[in-house]
């Protein structure tokens, strides 16, 4: 018998805030920024050692088509996703939102607040909204210096906290705060406790990830699916090829079948699955990603009920199948046909019907 104890007020509040998220299971990640213009992955600036002044010129070429976020939101919905998380600022430092802290932002470069467009698009499809925000910043003059120089740290933390405040204030209700990379400071250096307290004051229902150096609400295994210890929420984030940002040459696409297997495993083990698109510079989604998501959506249209709201499932092991569970119902997701005689953990069963997952 497990020991029963009263939940703390904080634990109860977390259960309340995270109910929709646990049920949702499946979300869309969007990596979009100036790096799309280069089309060589979102780390190009760092990996290729491109000087700031040269990289900045990409902003002049950044001229997205009208409202690309509407296409993303429709596609997310069609794929059976329930929420979207977009890069408001990636490591390159370019802000897709309106900010008083820098001119290096979309509204001052192309006259559009791309975060506002994103929020409107997601909301109009009934999807929840998440903001990815990179603490690490290759553009800001204090972005690296802050690790050695206390004055620089103070300036930079003011900048970061100020932008987080803007994001939490100017776009209505935000459901998820998705920080990334707490290099080069620790949670203490970023003053993350203070920052997240502000976030929660401005957005009482928000769910915060663990990448400001504090555990907060959920963990973020990357490019693999692995559950957390019992009681700890997690979300596996993954690319459809090998790149988060648009990469012209990367054609190593996963099949819809493989993506569905990951999603099923997440649902089986009590996690969520955040699947990425890397739109092109004009905001359009690579055709391969569109086709994969449509195919996944077809399956979700029929079998989404085996995923949404699934609870952690103890039946895990089989050579031919995966499992999800809700209450007393166990779903067997068959990868290949095992023959007419088979058993799960000693339980013999007769198959009444079966459908193939599309390739
Ligand atoms: C890694 C990458 C980054 C990407 C992130 C997504 O931190 O550095 O580019 O945005 O993963 O989780």
Q: Which residue did the predictor score with more confidence, 191 or 319?
A: 191
Q: How far is the CA of 180 from the centre of ligand 1 (A)?
A: 7
Q: Which residue did the predictor score with more confidence, 228 or 165?
A: 165
Per-residue pLDDT, 1: 46
User: What whole-number distance in Å separates Cα of residue 38 and Cα of residue 211?
Assistant: 27
User: What whole-number distance in Å separates Cα of residue 206 and Cα of residue 169?
Assistant: 13
Which ligand 1 atom is the nearest neighbour of the CA of 276?
Answer: 6
Q: 68 with 279: CB under 8 angstroms?
A: yes
Average pLDDT over every residue of 108-133: 97
Q: How far is the CA of 237 from the centre of ligand 1 (A)?
A: 9
Which ligand 1 atom is the nearest neighbour of the CA of 220?
Answer: 12
Is pLDDT at 125 greater than 80 in this prediction? yes
Out of 98-102, 298-302, 343-347, pick the least confident: 343-347
Is pLDDT at 359 greater than 60 in this prediction? no
The β-bridge relationship of strands 207-208 and 176-180 is parallel
Q: How far is the CA of 90 from the centre of ligand 1 (A)?
A: 9
Model confidence at 335, pLDDT cuts 50, 70, 90, reads confident
Per-residue pLDDT, 357: 59
Classify each residue of 275-287 as buried b or exposed e, where b means 16 or more C-beta atoms within 10 Å of its C-beta: bbbbbbbebebbe
C-beta of 235 in contact with ligand 1 (< 6 A): no
C-beta of 357 in contact with ligand 1 (< 6 A): no
Q: Which residue did the predictor score with more confidence, 346 or 207?
A: 207
The CA distances from residue 320 to 219, 225, 302, 310, in Å, are: 29, 19, 21, 20
C-beta of 62 in contact with ligand 1 (< 6 A): no
Q: What residues have CB less than 8 Å from 123, skipping those under 6 apart? A: 129, 172
CA atoms within 13 A on the CB side of 12: 5
Token pair recorded at residue 3: 């020991």
C-beta of 180 in contact with ligand 1 (< 6 A): yes
Q: How far is the CA of 216 from the centre of ligand 1 (A)?
A: 19
User: What whole-number distance in Å separates Cα of residue 176 and Cα of residue 180?
Assistant: 13
Which ligand 1 atom is the nearest neighbour of the CA of 132?
Answer: 10
The CA distances from residue 53 to 35, 139, 145, in Å, are: 14, 9, 18
Q: How far is the CA of 208 from the centre of ligand 1 (A)?
A: 16
Average pLDDT over every residue of 131-150: 98
User: What whole-number distance in Å separates Cα of residue 35 and Cα of residue 33?
Assistant: 5
Q: How far is the CA of 181 from the centre of ligand 1 (A)?
A: 8
Nearest CA to ligand 1 atom 10: 244
Per-residue pLDDT, 21: 98
Residues 271-296: tens digit of each pLDDT: 999 999 999 999 999 999 999 999 99
User: What whole-number distance in Å separates Cα of residue 190 and Cα of residue 198?
Assistant: 13
Which ligand 1 atom is the nearest neighbour of the CA of 237?
Answer: 12
State the residue for tokens 């932008």: 163
Average pLDDT, the chain: 94
Residues 96-112: tens digit of each pLDDT: 999 999 999 999 999 99
- Tell me the sheet residues that pair with 209: 218
Is pLDDT at 257 greater than 50 in this prediction? yes
CA 177 to the chain's CA centroid: 10
Is pLDDT at 340 greater than 80 in this prediction? no
Residue 150 burial (C-beta neighbours within 10 Å; 0-12, 13-18, 19+): exposed
Give a three-class secondary structure readout of the chain.
CCCCCCCCHHHHHHHHHHHHHHHHCEEEEECCCCHHHHCECCCHHHHCCCCHHHHHCHHHHCCCCCCHHHHHHHHHHHHCCCEEEEEEECCCCCECCCCCCCCCEHHHHHCCCHHHHHHHHHHHCCCEEEEEEECCCCCCCCCCHHHCCHHHHHHHHHHHHHHHHHHHHCCCCCCEEEEECCCCCCHHHHCHHHHHHHHHHHCCCCEEECCCCCCCCEECCECCCCCCCCCCEEEEEECCCCCCCCECCCCCCCCHHHHHHHHHHHHHCCCEEEEEECCCCCCCCCHHHHHHHHHHHHHHHHHHHHCCCCECCCCCCCCCEEEEEECCEEEEEECCCCCCCCEECCEECCCCCCCCCCC
User: What whole-number distance in Å separates Cα of residue 10 and Cα of residue 46?
Assistant: 40
Nearest CA to ligand 1 atom 11: 222
Per-residue pLDDT, 26: 98
C-beta of 135 in contact with ligand 1 (< 6 A): no
Q: How far is the CA of 165 from the centre of ligand 1 (A)?
A: 22
Is pLDDT at 127 greater than 70 in this prediction? yes
Q: How far is the CA of 79 from the centre of ligand 1 (A)?
A: 23
User: Could you tell me what percent of the chain has a pLDDT over 90?
Assistant: 85
Q: How far is the CA of 6 from the centre of ligand 1 (A)?
A: 38
Say if pTM beats, i.e. exceeds, 0.75: yes
Per-residue pLDDT, 328: 85
C-beta of 181 in contact with ligand 1 (< 6 A): yes
């Amino acid at each position: 018998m497990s020991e029963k104890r009263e939940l703390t007020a904080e634990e109860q509040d977390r259960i309340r805030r995270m109910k929709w998220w646990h049920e949702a299971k499946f979300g869309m990640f969007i990596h979009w920024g100036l790096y799309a213009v280069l089309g060589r992955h979102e780390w190009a600036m760092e990996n290729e050692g491109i000087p700031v002044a040269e990289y900045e010129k990409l902003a002049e070429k950044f001229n997205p088509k009208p409202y690309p976020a509407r296409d993303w939101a429709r596609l997310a919905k069609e794929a059976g996703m329930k929420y979207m998380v977009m890069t408001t600022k990636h490591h390159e430092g370019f802000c897709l939102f309106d900010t008083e802290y820098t001119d290096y932002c979309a509204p001052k470069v192309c006259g559009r607040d791309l975060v506002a467009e994103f929020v409107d698009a997601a909301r109009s499809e009934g999807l929840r909204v998440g903001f990815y925000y990179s603490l690490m910043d290759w553009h800001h003059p204090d972005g690296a210096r802050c690790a050695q120089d206390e004055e620089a740290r103070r300036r930079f933390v003011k900048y970061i906290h100020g932008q987080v405040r803007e994001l939490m204030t100017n776009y209505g209700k935000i459901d998820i705060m998705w920080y990334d990379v707490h290099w080069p400071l620790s949670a203490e250096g970023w003053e993350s406790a203070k920052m997240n307290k502000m976030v929660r004051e401005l957005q009482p229902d928000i769910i915060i990830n663990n990448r400001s150096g504090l555990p907060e609400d959920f963990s973020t295994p990357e490019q693999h699916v692995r559950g957390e210890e019992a009681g700890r929420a997690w979300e596996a984030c993954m690319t459809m090829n090998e790149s988060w940002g648009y990469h012209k040459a990367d054609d190593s696409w996963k099949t819809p079948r493989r993506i569905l297997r990951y999603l099923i495993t997440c649902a089986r083990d009590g996690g969520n699955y955040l699947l990425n698109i890397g739109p092109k510079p004009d905001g359009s989604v690579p055709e391969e990603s569109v086709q994969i998501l449509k195919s996944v959506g077809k399956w979700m249209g029929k079998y989404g009920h085996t995923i949404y709201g699934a609870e952690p499932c103890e039946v895990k092991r089989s050579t031919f199948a995966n499992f999800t569970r809700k209450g007393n119902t166990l779903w067997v997701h068959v990868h290949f046909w095992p023959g007419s005689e088979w058993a799960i953990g000693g339980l013999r069963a007769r198959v009444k019907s079966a459908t193939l997952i599309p390739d």
